[in-house]
Amino acid sequence: MTLALSDARSIVHAVHTQEASAREVTGKALRAMGTVEPRLRAFLCAFEAEALRAADLVDARVEAGERPALAGVPVAIKDNICLGPDLMKVGDGRGYGGATTAGSRILRGYRSPFTATAAQRLIDAGAIVLGKTNLDEFGMGSSTEHSAFGVTRNPWDTSRVPGGSSGGSAAAVAAGVCPISLGSDTGGSIRQPAAHCGVVGLKPTYGRVSRLGLVAYASSLDQVGPIAANVADAALCLRVIAGHDAGDATSAREPVPDYEESLRGACDGLVIGVPGQARSSANDPELTDAFEASLHVLRGLGAEVVSVDMPMLDHAIAAYYVLAPAEASSNLARYDGVRYGQRAGLSAGEGLRDLYERSRSEGFGDEVKRRIMLGTYALSGGYYDHYYATATRVRGLLRDAFGRALATCGVIATPATPGPAFPIGGKTADPLAMYLEDVYTVGVNLAGLPAVSVPMGMARRDAKPLPLGLQLIGAPFQEASLLRVAAMFERARGPLGHGPEVRAT
């Protein structure tokens, strides 16, 4: 049968009813990867033999009467999410294994001894891991240009970035290799690449999904979440990976609803708040038009759109780029060339300090070094109160501002990015311009809230269509309501009318 790789629910139905086998679907996905990968470089490694063995195991489960929630669904995993060597013992006893590099030379050759909880839950639900995807080193970037292993390209226009840091995961879904991938979001790293690649990206409430096995960047901000071809598939993935994990002290004990069932409903009576910053004059004009058209669609669905005053949003970027680098400075201190990862060679007479300095200098890229130095400075004596403590207070005020706004509005709407995907190399020489790509997303992480990016329209550059994303922000643990609004908008908006330049057939 002909089965699209862009719809996880159709794949699950086909495998459950044995209209198609998990092995057939996996083979098709691996061929799709081989077709598009030379042009995109979305993956850092592929698990071809392992994926086919895993598919056979899923087929055996279905034959025995089981109905795994993600039976036979091909998925991709961002390479800062660990996969362990004993993930799957079938056939010759080997598991997926594979290196976990976080896009960094300093972790070249590192193999995790355990599997991240979110990844394990996908596999237990019958998903088939195709490979690990490229990212900005340690998640520090907005373009997937800061990887030690090369640049990932946007499927809509290969001269442009896919966004970051989960650019490989977003590109894999947009190119039709798999319907679902896992990313991580510290300041927009799921939503921003989803917007640039024309797919759906969900950043869950902090604590909704376990962080066990996620390589830490900024521990109070990092969150694992799905990137998917559509809202329903994102809901399906979240239902599988969400829930308390005893191995993660920050994991919440909130009950996990049936997110797919929650997609049914109406927007009647819903109040959607729009901060003034969402209509910034710095936004791309085509994005401004698409955003206003999206608000019109939401009004047509029965929602009331109102303005909300949130002046603290103006300080979100500044607070984020103090707090996140400060946490990075602490977290990345463990990469010292001694315990694991890359170790530099020493000359006669050199000591431990030389080993630390050389290993970190050779192992970290320029952007990671920049953020470590910023964070170390913010935490240093004489500057802690002026920078870190002030940013922490701003974070509290920002959380309060979101709380007040969401007490009167069910959802807050903004663009996901200030414009479409930019050319590769277009912002690497100007770190501040790159940081401003996250202007609409970082506040959500500082407040610990859920948010979703859903395609809202197109811009054009050099006669090529480029996707634009609508960001919807909700109250803590209200992913179900957020996904319902996103699904209704997706249906009302209809198809974008264009397809990526690079897409598997």
User: What are the domain boundaries of the chain?
Assistant: 8-263
More confident residue, 88 or 254: 254
Q: Give the pLDDT band (50/70/90) at residue 90.
A: very low
More confident residue, 497 or 212: 212
165 has catalytic annotation: yes
**Number of DSSP helices (H) and strands (E) in the chain, helices first:** 15, 11
> How confident is the model at residue 390, as a pLDDT?
97
Classify residue 209 as left (phi > 0), alpha (psi -120 to 50) or beta.
beta
> How confident is the model at residue 268, as a pLDDT?
80
Q: What rounded mean pLDDT belongs to the chain?
A: 94
Comparing 109-118, 224-233, 278-287, 384-393, which segment has the lowest mean pLDDT? 109-118
The beta-strand segments (E) located in 309-438 are: 411-415
Instruction: Please enumerate in sequence order all residues whose Cβ is within 8 A of that of 271, keeping only pairs 6 or more positions apart, or say none.
Output: 303, 304, 306, 408, 409, 410, 411
HSE, side-chain direction, 13 A CA sphere, residue 444: 36
Check if the beta carbon of residue 2 is closer than 8 Å to that of residue 35: no
> How confident is the model at residue 87, as a pLDDT?
52
> 12-38: per-residue pLDDT in tens?
999 999 999 999 999 999 999 999 999
> How confident is the model at residue 89, as a pLDDT?
45
Check if the beta carbon of residue 202 is closer than 8 Å to that of residue 449: no
> How confident is the model at residue 93, as a pLDDT?
42
What are the structure tokens assigned to 29, written together?
């996905």
- CATH topology for 8-263 is Amidase signature (AS) enzymes (3.90.1300)
Residue 82 sits at the vertex; the CA angle it makes with 77 and 88, to the nearest 5 degrees, is 85
**Number of residues written out for the chain:** 505
How many Å apart are CA 411 and CA 485, to the nearest integer? 9
> How confident is the model at residue 345, as a pLDDT?
79
Check if the beta carbon of residue 200 is closer than 8 Å to that of residue 227: yes
Comparing 84-93, 153-162, 413-422, which segment has the lowest mean pLDDT? 84-93
Residue 459 sits at the vertex; the CA angle it makes with 78 and 236, to the nearest 5 degrees, is 40
464 has catalytic annotation: no
Q: Which of 6, 21, 28, 78 is catalytic?
A: 78
Instruction: Kindly report the backbone phi and psi dihedral angles of residue 375, in degrees, each rounded to the nearest multiple of 5, phi listed first.
Output: -65, -40
What are the structure tokens assigned to 260, written together?
């797919």
Mean of pLDDT values over 285-305? 97
Q: Which of 6, 147, 169, 189 is catalytic?
A: 189
Mean of pLDDT values over 268-286? 96
> How confident is the model at residue 182, as a pLDDT?
98
Number of Cβ within 10 Å of residue 121's Cβ equals 22
> 423-447: per-residue pLDDT in tens?
999 999 999 999 999 999 999 999 9
> 208-221: per-residue pLDDT in tens?
999 999 999 999 99
78 has catalytic annotation: yes
Q: Model's pTM, two decimal places?
A: 0.96
> 138-159: per-residue pLDDT in tens?
999 999 999 999 999 999 999 9
> 342-359: per-residue pLDDT in tens?
787 777 777 788 788 888
Q: Give the pLDDT band (50/70/90) at residue 92.
A: very low
Q: Which of 6, 147, 165, 251 is catalytic?
A: 165
